[in-house]
Structure 1
C-alpha cells in the first residue's frame, strides 16, 4: 500500500519533524520519506484542511464486552469506533463472560482481534472472575499478551487482596489499574452527594468514597513498592493526594476521563440516564480542579472509559440504569473543546505517548524508516456529533447533538488506512 499524506502538521515530541508541515510517504507499513512535497505514482492521498498527524493514540480503559456480552459491543464494533475516534490501540477491561482471568481468554481476545485495524490489548483480571476474592494466574496472562492487570469496572475492595496483587506483579514489573472507589460508603448512591442530589431526590455517593480509596491504594503501593495506575480520578482531594505521592517519588500514575472534564453533577437535572457513570460527575470545583490537573501535567493520560450499554439498561429510570457511556469517538473532541488553550503537543502526550510508557508498550515515532502508526485529526474543525456517527453496537452517548471544535479523521495502523472521510 502506497500512501501520501499531504501537507500535514506533525505533532510528535519524539520526532525530529515535530511542528513541521510536510508530506509523508508510507509504503508497506513503513515511513519512506518526509519532505515538503512528495509525488508518487498510484499512491493514495490523504488530504484535508488543517490536517494534523501524530503517533497513534492509545486508550487505557475500554469495555468491548466480548466474549459474553456481544449485544452491547463486539471486538469488531469496538475497533470500528476506536479507529473513527483516532485510536490505533485500545486496552480492554476483563469484565466479560467468561472474565479475562486466564490465558485462554487473553489468547481469544488477541487472536480474534489480530486482523482488525486497531490493536486490542487485554487487561488481565487481578482476581478470578473479577470477583475480588482469589488472585488469578497473572503471570500466565502476561505471557499470553495481557499488558496490565485490573478488575476493571469492579475495583478491588480488599486491602489484603490488593497488596498481594501489587506484590505479585512486581516480580515481572507489571502494572495494576484501579478505579479508586470504596463501595462500602453509600453503595446505593446514584450520583455525587451534594446540593444537586438533594434537590433531585437521588441517593448520593460522597467524594470521600473516592478520596479514601486513593489514600489507601497509594499506601498499599508504597508498602508493596509496586506500580499502580488510578483511573477515573475525579475529585480535588484525590488529585492533591496523587500530587503529594508523586512528589515523594511513589510509582503512581493516573488518568482522567474526557466526560468528567465536560460534565458536572448539575448537568444531571434532566435525569438523562446516559449521564449515570462511575465515578459519578462531581461538582464544579472538582471539575475545574481536574481540568487544571490535565492542563498542568499532573494527570498522566486520558482514559475514555468507553462503556457501551444496551437500550434495556439505559432507556430506563435513572435509578435502574447501568453505569457507563460511549467514549472512544468523542474523546479528542471533548478535550479540545473544553480546554482550547491546551497545545496539541499536550494532547498527544496524553493520548499517544504517556499511556504506552506506563504500560511498557513501544512508542511509535514519526520518522523516516519507522513503522507507521498514525492518527489524523483537525484541531480547528467545527462539527456536530450525531446519532448516525455512532459506530458502536450500543448508542448510549449523551454527546449526540453536541457541537465540538476538533475532529479525529481516522488512523493508519497495521498497514491499514481507516478514514472518516473519502
Structure 2
C-alpha cells in the first residue's frame, strides 16, 4: 500500500531533514520520497495528523515480556502490541522467562512468536545457565540464533573470574555483555534507597555503594580484558561519574537509565505503594540531577523503559515482600517529555541500535520504513485507562505528561493510535 504522511515535522538531529515540515511517501516498506508538497499518488492513503512530529523509530534496550512461563504477567503478542502503541518499533527482550532464555531453542521460539508483529524483537540471551551465575550459557549458539547481547536480568555476576572469562569469550564474535551492577551482599535485605526517607519510613535501605562498587569492579575487569559492556539502569551520581571517567580512558562501555529514575525520586515512597519498589531503587533528587547531566554530556548513552510486568500477586502484598518492577512502555514518552527536551529524548530513545550493532533508522529516500509519530503540546497525567499491558504495576501512574504517541510505521506495518 502507498501511504503519505502529510505535513509532519522531522525530529532527527543526525539526519538531513531535522526540524523540516515535510511529506513522507511510504511504499512497499521503503521511504520513496521526503519533501514539501509531494505529488500524491492516486491510490495513496494520506495520513494527516495535527501538529505531528516524526522521528526514527524508538528502540528500547530492556523489556520483559514474560512469555514463555510468565504469561499471567504478559504475553509476547500483547507486549508487542503495547510497545507499538507506545511508539517503539524495536525492543530488546530480557531472558526473564521460564525456562530462562539461555539456549538457541528459546531464542528461536521468541523470534517465531514475534513474526508478523509491527514491533520487532531482539532477544537478549542469558549470560549464565539458568541465570544462576554458575556457568556460562551457550553464548555463541545463541548469537547465531539471533541473540543481540548477553546478560542475566537484574542479577550481578558474583564471580569476577567468570565475568572476566565472559568478556574475553564474546570478543571472538563481537558480542556485548550486559553488566547489571549491584553487590548483593551490600544490598542485603534492603528494599529502598538508603537515606533519610528509608529511615523515616522504617524500611531497610540499599546503599548507592552497592551499585557503585559493582560498577567499579566491572569497569576494572573491562579494562583488563578489553571487549565491550553495557551497564543497564544506572541510578546514582557516583555511578555516572565512574562511567564518565571510564569513557575518558577509552573503555568501550555504554550505559542506560530507566525512565522512572529520570522522573521519580525516593520521596514518592511516603505512600508505601509497591508500584514504586524497583531495582535499582528510586534514589534522591541529587542523583536524578546527575542522571539528567549524564544524558546531556553523553555519559549515559540511552534511555530505557525497563518495562517489567509483574502479576498482581507480586505487588498486592506488604512492601518488603513485593516483587521489584514496573511497566513503563505506555508512560515513557509523556513522562519524559514533561521533564527533558524533545531532541535529547529522541536521541536517547534511538541510540540503542548503534550500541548493539544494528543499522540506523534513517529518514531518507530508499531507507527502510522505521518511524515513530508523536506530538509534544498536550499536557495531562498518566492514567490507568492508558495502560495496555496485562499487568498494571505502573510506577508513573498520576505523573504529569506532555504530548502523546500517535503511532509507528515499520516496514509494511502502520499502526495509528
- Offset of 1:410 from its aligned partner? 1.4
Aligned to 1:258: 259
Encode CA deviations 1:382-421: one digit per residue, 9 max, x unaligned: 233221211111111132333311222110013111121x
Distance 1:384 1:186, change over 3 A: closer
- Offset of 1:294 from its aligned partner? 1.5
Q: Does 1:393 align with 2:390?
A: yes
Aligned to 2:318: 317
Q: Does 1:362 align with 2:359?
A: yes
Aligned to 2:21: 21
- Offset of 1:45 from its aligned partner? 2.4
CA contact (8 A) 1:152 1:178 kept: no
* TM-score under structure 1 length normalisation: 0.96
Aligned to 2:343: 345
- Offset of 1:43 from its aligned partner? 2.2
Q: Distance in 2 between matches of 1:199 and 1:148?
A: 41
Q: Distance in 2 between matches of 1:40 and 1:155?
A: 55
CA contact (8 A) 1:14 1:365 kept: no
Q: Distance in 2 between matches of 1:285 and 1:345?
A: 23
- Offset of 1:332 from its aligned partner? 1.9
Q: How many residues align?
A: 416
**What SS class does the counterpart of residue 326 from structure 1 fall into?**
coil
CA contact (8 A) 2:29 2:368 kept: yes
Give matches, 1:71-110, under 5 Å.
71-110=72-111
Encode CA deviations 1:128-180: one digit per residue, 9 max, x unaligned: 01111100110000010001111112232221111111111111111111221
**What SS class does the counterpart of residue 406 from structure 2 fall into?**
strand
Q: Distance in 1 between matches of 2:53 and 2:59?
A: 17
**What SS class does the counterpart of residue 338 from structure 1 fall into?**
coil
Aligned to 2:178: 177
Q: Distance in 1 between matches of 2:294 and 2:204?
A: 29
Q: Distance in 1 between matches of 2:108 and 2:278?
A: 30
* TM-score under structure 2 length normalisation: 0.97
Q: Distance in 2 between matches of 1:15 and 1:276?
A: 39
- Offset of 1:327 from its aligned partner? 0.7
Encode CA deviations 1:82-114: one digit per residue, 9 max, x unaligned: 111110000011121111100000000011102
Aligned to 1:377: 374
Which runs of 5 or more residues in structure 1 are unaligned? Answer: none
Consecutive aligned runs of 4 or more in structure 1 exceeding 3 Å deviation: none
Q: Distance in 1 between matches of 2:131 and 2:66?
A: 14
Encode CA deviations 1:179-223: one digit per residue, 9 max, x unaligned: 211111132101001111011001111000001011001001111
**What SS class does the counterpart of residue 379 from structure 1 fall into?**
coil
CA contact (8 A) 1:123 1:149 kept: yes
**What SS class does the counterpart of residue 163 from structure 1 fall into?**
helix
Q: Distance in 2 between matches of 1:319 and 1:18?
A: 48
Encode CA deviations 1:349-398: one digit per residue, 9 max, x unaligned: 2111x211110011110001111110001122223322121111111113
CA contact (8 A) 1:304 1:327 kept: yes
**What SS class does the counterpart of residue 256 from structure 2 fall into?**
strand
- Offset of 1:267 from its aligned partner? 1.0
Aligned to 1:239: 240
- Offset of 1:49 from its aligned partner? 2.1
Aligned to 1:412: 409
**What SS class does the counterpart of residue 184 from structure 1 fall into?**
helix
Q: Distance in 2 between matches of 1:78 and 1:117?
A: 11
Across the aligned residues of Structure 1 and Structure 2, the Cα RMSD in angstroms comes to: 1.2
- Offset of 1:304 from its aligned partner? 1.1
- Offset of 1:13 from its aligned partner? 3.1
